[in-house]
Copies of this chain bind each other. A is one copy, B any other.
Amino acid sequence: MKKHNFSAGPCVLPKSVMEQAAAAVLNFDDGLSLLEISHRSKPFVDVMENARSLALELLGLEGKGYKALFLQGGASTQFLMVALNLLEKRAGYLNTGTWADKAIKEAKIYDDIYEIGSSKSANYNYIPKGYDIPEDYDYFHCTSNNTIFGTQMKSFPNSPIPMVCDMSSDIFSRQLDFSKFDLIYAGAQKNMGPAGTTLVVIKEDILGKVSRKIPSMMNYKEHISKGSMFNTPPVFAVYVSMLTLEWLKNLGGIKAIEKENEKKARLIYSEIDLNPLFKGYSVKEDRSIMNATFTLENENLKETFESMVKEAGINGINGHRSVGGYRASMYNALSLDSVKALVEVMSELESKA
C-alpha cells in the first residue's frame, strides 16, 4: 500500500532522490561509497559547490552579495549563531511560536532582546501585525512559518535594519522577494533533505560588525572563507540536499512547486472548513500552506478517525502536544494524492457519523 507521510520533519523526500541517495551509498565515485570518500576530494567539493549555488539560484539571490552555507547543528544552533554574529546591543524579535520563543531565549544570553510583537497569549494561533521595527536595533528576527501552530507570515515588513528569518519549515515552498532578507536559515529536514545539515544564506556585508570574539565554528565569516568546509561537513546530508534542490529546479523551481503547494493547501483547508466534524486551529488569514493544524469537534470520534487514517496508509498527522488535535504537514515532496487520501478519510468520517 502507498504510504502517505505527513510527518512534520524529518519528512517525505522525492522518491527519485531516495533512490539516488541509496545508490550513492553503494557506489558514488569509481567504486567508492559516498560515505567513504574524502570531503576534500574533487567529486565532493563539486557537490558542495553545486548545492550552494543551487540554493542561491532557486532563491533568486545569485550575484546579489549573498553566500550560502551548509552547516551542522540544526536550526537550533542558528538561534545562537545569529546572536553571536550580529547582536551588539539590542535586537527585536517577533514571537510567533515555540521556535521563535526558543530563538529569543538563546539570544538573551548574549544581550538585550525586545519582543516587537507576540501572539504567545493566544497560544500562537495568529501572526502579530502592525508592529514597528526600531531603526537603532542591530537586527529584526522573524519566523516565516510556525511549524507547530500552522501559521505563516504572508507578508514581511520593510525592515530598516537587517532582517533575519528562520525559514526552516517553508523555505523553497513559495515565491518571495528573498532579497528583503539579510540572513535566512533553515534546517534541511523539511523541504530540502534529511536531518543533519542547515542551510544559511547570508548577505555578507552585515557581518563583522560586533565586538565580541566569535568561536570559529560559530563564525559565519570563518565558514564563508572556507567555502562551507571549515571542518568536515555532513557529506551525506549535503549530497541529498543537493539532489533535492536539483529535483526542484528540474520541476520548474519555486514558482512551479508553489502552485502545487497551494493546491494541496486549498484542498485540506476547504475540507476542514466545510466538514462540520473538523475545526481549523489558526486564524484563516495566517494559515500555513505547509502545516495545516486542526481538531475534531467531537472527541468521541477520535478512535474511529485515527483507525481510518491508519488503514488508509496515512502517517504522521498527530498534532504537537502544545496544540493537540492533528497536523498535516504538506512539504514540497508530499504529493497532491496524499492530501486527497487524507481528505477522503475526513469526508468518509462525516458520512459515517
- Residue positions of A touching B, CB distance < 8 A: 1, 3, 5, 7-13, 18-19, 21-23, 25-26, 30-33, 35-39, 72-77, 79-80, 102, 105-106, 109, 187, 189, 193-197, 213, 215-218, 230-237, 240, 315-316
Contacts and interface: CB of A to CB of B under 8 A. Distances in A.
Contacts of A106: 215-217
- Of A1, A105, A236, A315, most buried by chain B (CB within 10 Å of CB) is A236
A106 B214 CA distance: 9
Nearest to A25: B22
A237 B10 contact: no
Contacts of A102: 216
A102 B217 CA distance: 11
B80 A194 contact: no
Contacts of A213: 109
Given A13-B33, A109-B213, A187-B232, 4 more contacts: A22-B25, A80-B218, A106-B215, A196-B234
B7 A36 contact: yes
Contact of A26 (B22, B215, B231): B22
Please classify the interface of chain A as helix (H, G, I), strand (E, B), loop, or mixed, using the class held by over half of its residues: loop
Copies of this chain present: 2
23 contacts: A3-B30, A10-B38, A10-B232, A12-B36, A18-B25, A21-B35, A22-B25, A22-B26, A35-B240, A72-B74, A76-B217, A76-B231, A77-B217, A79-B215, A106-B215, A106-B216, A195-B232, A195-B234, A195-B235, A196-B197, A196-B235, A234-B234, A236-B236
Nearest to A20: B25
Given A196-B234, A234-B72, A18 B33 contact: yes
A108 to B, nearest CB: 9
Contacts of A235: 10, 194-196
A194 B233 CA distance: 10
A155 B242 CA distance: 44
Nearest to A316: B38
A98 to B, nearest CB: 12
Contacts of A22: 22-23, 25-26
Nearest to A36: B12
Nearest to A19: B26
A157 to B, nearest CB: 27
Interface centre among A38, A75, A77, A79 (most CB of B within 10 A): A38
Nearest to A188: B232
